[in-house]
């Protein structure tokens, strides 16, 4: 699973990220070039003075030493390949890069096409493929490459491979080191590498960049300029984002307060409704004393009640009467009761010849108007 994810990530990097990065680097260099043309002459002279290079070119049995900036190189001396013949001229101190140009005959160049996924570890892949693609093995040569194209359709990577035997480079560096010169770039002297930026055959462990401090300073300034540029673009967006967040916070607080007010209003309405319910219920239903008083007036003297139950507007009577049916009529005629009915069959009391009854009636609710 992890291998599949890594493979997919490599393919995405080779297909999308690497081309975008290459375009950004090209655009950055173009922008710096255009910006340089707009600078005053004195400023450009200062930049050129801090961008001096020492160019070493092989010319038969000797090295031609040139010093200057791009387009303004000047010969300062020659060094014989013989180790016994030392240089007799001083070397400049304000040198950013020391570049050894190899003769075209000493550099093998070959165009290769590899799978797109190889772009993630291209140098290692070329090391494994060296003996198959060239007459040499990886430990016999110094090599570098330039990516010339990518195809997402065929999923291939096009590149130009440059290599030279190690003994040629080591012998040249040995002679130059004996004369106090240590190259940090070894490149073919071809039109493919005019500025000695694209190709460097020297391994990273053997490079001695004399202008590393200035290079780091320039890189730091470039990063700072890019950071300021991004800040200028991003600041209005950030300000709007902060404003929106502040407004959202204010709206959130107001919403919470409004919700609390609504809940409080609901509670007040519930309490008011409960209080009104009790008042309305009390006003709409007659009291127990009123029911008892009305029933006392209704029941005749020949009847007596031994039990009265009053609940939820209903009154139940248990007792004896000469005529239980007559009680129903009397209760129905009252304005305080209605729906009079027997709750159990009427029975005859043997000793008194009275009728035992169990009847009920509903109290009439009063209007609140």
Query: Is residue 223 one of the residues assigned to a domain?
Result: no
pLDDT for 329 beyond 80: yes
Across the beta sheet with 53-59, the strand order is 72-80, 62-69, 53-59, 97-102, 185-188
Q: Which residues pair with 185 in a beta bridge?
A: 99
Overall size of the chain counted in residues: 369
Calculate the alpha carbon distances from 20 to 3, 15, 16, 25, 26 in Å. Answer: 25, 9, 6, 9, 10
Query: Is residue 217 one of the residues assigned to a domain?
Result: no
Residues 277 and 328 in one domain: no
Mean pLDDT of the chain: 78
Residues 238 and 145 in one domain: no
- The boundaries of the domain holding residue 335 are 288-363
Please compute the mean of the pLDDT values over residues 63-80 and round it to a whole number: 77
Query: Is residue 216 one of the residues assigned to a domain?
Result: no
Query: Is residue 134 one of the residues assigned to a domain?
Result: yes
pLDDT for 345 beyond 80: yes
Residues 10 and 143 in one domain: yes
Query: Is residue 221 one of the residues assigned to a domain?
Result: no
Query: Is residue 31 one of the residues assigned to a domain?
Result: yes
Between 41-50, 229-238, 298-307, 341-350, the lowest mean confidence (pLDDT) is in 41-50
Domain boundary among 161, 181, 210: 210
Indicate which CATH number applies to the domain containing 339: 3.30.1360.100
Query: Is residue 245 one of the residues assigned to a domain?
Result: yes
pLDDT at 165: 92
Residues 112 and 203 in one domain: yes
Domain boundary among 245, 261, 284: 284
Between 31-35, 98-102, 198-202, the lowest mean confidence (pLDDT) is in 31-35
Query: Is residue 369 one of the residues assigned to a domain?
Result: no
Model confidence, pTM: 0.47
Residues 193 and 138 in one domain: yes
Is residue 322 within 8 A of residue 356, CB to CB? The reply is no
Domain boundary among 284, 301, 324: 284
For residues 189 and 199, give the distance between their C-alpha atoms in angstroms, rounded to a whole number: 10
Instruction: List, in order, residues 6 or more apart from 172 with CB less than 8 Å away.
Output: 58, 63, 100, 102
Task: List the one residue out of 151, 147, 149, 142 whose CA is nearest residue 160.
Answer: 147
Is residue 331 within 8 A of residue 340, CB to CB? The reply is yes
Helix (H, G, I), strand (E, B) or coil at 244: helix
Residues 150 and 51 in one domain: yes
pLDDT at 211: 45
Residues 7 and 26 in one domain: yes
Please compute the mean of the pLDDT values over residues 165-179 and round it to a whole number: 85
pLDDT at 47: 57
Residues 296 and 277 in one domain: no
Residues 40 and 142 in one domain: yes
pLDDT at 238: 81
Indicate which CATH number applies to the domain containing 147: 3.30.420.380
pLDDT digits (tens, 9 = 90+) for 72-130: 777 777 887 775 666 667 777 777 788 888 888 888 888 988 888 887 788 888 888 88
Between 4-8, 184-188, 301-305, 359-363, the lowest mean confidence (pLDDT) is in 4-8
Q: What percent of the chain has pLDDT over 90?
A: 1
pLDDT at 123: 86
Residues 137 and 27 in one domain: yes
* pLDDT band at residue 2 under the 50/70/90 scheme: low
Residues 270 and 306 in one domain: no
* 344 phi/psi in degrees, rounded to 5: -150, 160
Between 9-13, 50-54, 281-285, 329-333, the lowest mean confidence (pLDDT) is in 9-13
For residues 166 and 170, give the distance between their C-alpha atoms in angstroms, rounded to a whole number: 6
pLDDT for 237 beyond 70: yes
pLDDT at 210: 46
The tally of domains found in the chain comes to 3
Residues 204 and 314 in one domain: no
């Amino acid at each position: 699973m992890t291998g599949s994810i890594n493979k997919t990530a490599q393919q995405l990097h080779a297909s999308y990220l690497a081309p975008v990065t290459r375009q950004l680097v090209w655009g950055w260099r173009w922008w710096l070039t255009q910006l340089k043309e707009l600078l005053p002459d004195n400023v450009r002279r200062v930049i050129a003075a801090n961008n001096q290079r020492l160019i070493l070119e092989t010319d038969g049995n000797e090295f031609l030493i040139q010093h200057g900036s791009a387009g303004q190189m000047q010969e300062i001396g020659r060094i014989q390949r013989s180790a016994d013949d030392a240089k007799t001229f001083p070397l400049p101190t304000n040198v950013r890069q020391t570049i050894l140009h190899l003769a075209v005959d000493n550099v093998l160049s070959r165009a290769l096409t590899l799978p797109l996924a190889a772009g993630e570890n291209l140098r290692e892949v070329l090391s494994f493929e060296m003996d198959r693609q060239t007459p040499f093995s990886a430990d016999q040569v110094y090599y570098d490459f330039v990516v010339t194209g990518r195809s997402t359709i065929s999923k291939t990577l096009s590149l130009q491979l440059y290599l030279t035997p190690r003994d040629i480079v080591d012998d040249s560096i040995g002679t130059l080191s004996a004369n106090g010169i240590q190259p940090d770039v070894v490149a073919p002297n071809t039109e493919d590498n005019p500025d000695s930026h694209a190709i460097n055959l020297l391994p990273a462990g053997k490079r001695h960049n004399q202008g590393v401090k200035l290079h780091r300073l320039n890189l730091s300034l470039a990063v700072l300029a890019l950071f300021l540029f991004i800040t200028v673009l991003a600041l209005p967006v950030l300000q709007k984002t902060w404003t929106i967040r502040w407004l959202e916070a204010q709206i959130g607080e107001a919403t919470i307060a409004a919700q609390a007010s609504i809940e409080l209003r609901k509670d007040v309405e519930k309490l008011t409704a409960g209080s009104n319910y009790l008042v309305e219920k009390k006003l709409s239903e007659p009291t127990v004393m009123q029911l008892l008083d009305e029933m006392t007036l209704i029941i005749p003297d020949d009847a007596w009640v031994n039990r009265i139950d009053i609940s939820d507007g209903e009154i139940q009577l248990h007792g004896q009467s000469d005529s239980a049916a007559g009680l129903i009529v009397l209760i129905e005629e009252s304005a305080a009761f209605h729906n009079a009915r027997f709750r159990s069959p009427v029975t005859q009391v043997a000793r008194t010849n009275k009728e035992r009854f169990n009847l009920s009636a509903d109290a009439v609710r009063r209007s609140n108007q």
